Structure 1
Amino acid sequence: MRLIKFHTGFKLMLSLFLVVFLVGCKSAKSVIASGEASEKLSAKQVIRQHQKTQTDFKTFQAKVKIDIIQNQKEQGSTFNMRMEKDKVIWLSAKLGLARMMITPERVRFYNKLDNEYFDGDYKLLSDFVGVELDFNKVQNILLGQAIYNLKEEPHNVSVNNNSYALQPKDQNVLLELFYLVNPSHFKMDSLQLFQQLKKRMLQVDYASYQEVKKQILPQNIRIVAVEESDEVAITMEFKSVSLNEEVRFPFRIPSGYKEIVIR
């Protein structure tokens, strides 16, 4: 994972893109995780219950405050976020100073503070976190779901601090993967990726969930990305959300901006 040194606005947008989701609306109910993990549940049973938690909605819009700590410096900002599930994720800073729009095919971004833009594939985001990303993986992270299909290979399960700890039976020596699944609603408590040889780590912790229109969704999220001695920590506070309303995704790269080129 190469922690790319971008301008402030660009880092904020990238970080937000990786971890934000739609919770915190006035009608939302906090989900109390009162379940108790059982040693009797098999890995297949845990996986089956987790896959039943897939969210069902068409669109949403929300506001979210992001705080980022990197190199002992903290910065924060509030963004608007809109999404059409499986099709578009759109982010906009205050006054439209920076915007990002991603689809299954493309990642696009511009920043009016630095007069720069990016229009390309997922390599930029993959480099930022050190894991090959695509639209589905990113969407799953935002929704508290496993980033890979858990049914594609056998897993081991154990109980760890009242979470179901899932890991592939045949761990990849180059990329170790761990999931912690909540015993109450079977969404993710934590996603952990380790690349020991390259001294890289990515961890996404879901501190709490909410029920929004009968959907169980992340409420508080923290992401930590580490490469050797470099560390980025991001926390989110979600505010207002509306689901399944008509949304627009305005996006136009201003003329005269400098293109961000990945080599």
Structure 2
Amino acid sequence: MSKRIALSLLLAATVFGSCARKSVPTKSEVSKRPVPEAVRATNVEFRFLSAKGKAQFDYQGNQQGANINVRIRKDSVIWISASLIGLEGVRAYITRDSVQVLDKLHREYYAGDYAYLSKRLNVPVNFDMLQALLLGNYLPPIDAATEPKVVTEGDMQRVNYEQANLLVQQLIELGKARVQQLTVEDPASQNKVTVDYSDFRVLERMPQSFAHNTLLQIQQGQAKPTTVTLSYRSVDVDKERLQFPFSIPKGYARKK
């Protein structure tokens, strides 16, 4: 697994920023805002969520697969582990204020705030964006004063708004009340990201639908799109109080 692909495990962090290098607040309370009444989306509610499955990356024709384990304490911690052939290669521990990534393949680690991660990945990032993308939840504008444009078209609802010169569009399937597609586009650079959610299944402990398949297509200018596919085989909500183990072993070099 190359360093580029290993870092791609923070795929949600790169998705929103791939469109443009613009300022995005890092200490946002976006996820705690209720979904507007006009928007017919229902977000996944939980305290602890655990998901296991596979990730498939295709970067400029180079393909790489990995097993992934995602744990989330809502609005607080995102923990991601990826392994190849049974051996863990990357572990990430992400909070609202900090990002830490352990690269076991190269005996290195990354630690810093969101400005650090944004600089490393050359994109702006914040916690709420990453959490919403992993969950398939509705993502409201960062600026509470921004009023989304909501249009109903048959069994779909289209929600559009602009922020930081980016055009954001979400398609909501009314029957499931879940986001089916998210698009973020930078008209100036023609960079575009499309996230499609599918294979919705009702969770075991709560009457909520969760997308077990997520397909990301990242288009930067005229280059060949980068795609990331997440396929979950199991998703558990509030089954148990989860642990988020993370420590830096001795001898690991801090990546500057």
Give the alignment's TM-score, normalised by structure 1.
0.75
2:228 aligned residue: 234
2:217 aligned residue: 224
Give the alignment of 1:141-156 within 5 angstroms: 141-149=133-141, 152-156=145-149
**Are residues 1:256 and 2:251 paired?**
yes
Paired residue type of 2:226: V
Instruction: Pick closer, same or farther for the CA change 1:126–1:226 going to 2, 3 Å.
Output: farther
Paired residue type of 2:94: I
1:157 aligned residue: 150
CA contact (8 A) 1:97 1:112 kept: yes
Alpha-carbon distance between aligned partners in 2 of 1:234 and 1:217, rounded to the nearest angstrom = 18
Instruction: Pick closer, same or farther for the CA change 1:166–1:201 going to 2, 3 Å.
Output: same
Which is bigger in relative contact order (C-alpha 8 A, separation at least 6)?
1
Q: 1:12-63: per-residue Cα shift (whole Å, max 9, x none)? A: 42227779xxxxxxxxxxxxxxxxxxxxxxxx7541x32xx12221112231
The match for 1:15 among 11, 14, 21 is 11
Paired residue type of 1:174: N
- Poorly superposed stretches of 4+, deviation over 4 Å: 16-19, 124-131, 159-162
Q: Which runs of 5+ in 1 are unaligned?
A: 1-5, 20-43
**Are residues 1:123 and 2:115 paired?**
yes
Alpha-carbon shift at residue 159 of structure 1 (Å)? 4.5
Give the alignment of 1:1-263 within 5 angstroms: 7-8=3-4, 10-15=6-11, 46-47=38-39, 49-50=40-41, 53-94=42-83, 95-123=87-115, 126=118, 132-149=124-141, 152-159=145-152, 162-168=155-161, 171=162, 174-212=165-203, 213=205, 214-228=207-221, 229-244=223-238, 245-261=240-256
Q: Which runs of 5+ in 2 are unaligned?
A: 16-35
CA contact (8 A) 1:108 1:120 kept: yes
**Equivalent residues, number:** 227
CA contact (8 A) 1:16 1:66 kept: no
Alpha-carbon shift at residue 188 of structure 1 (Å)? 0.9
Identity among equivalent pairs (%): 26
Q: RMSD of aligned C-alpha atoms?
A: 2.7
Paired residue type of 2:173: N
Paired residue type of 2:208: Q
Q: 1:49-97: per-residue Cα shift (whole Å, max 9, x none)? A: 32xx122211122311000111112110002222211111111223333
1:31 aligned residue: none
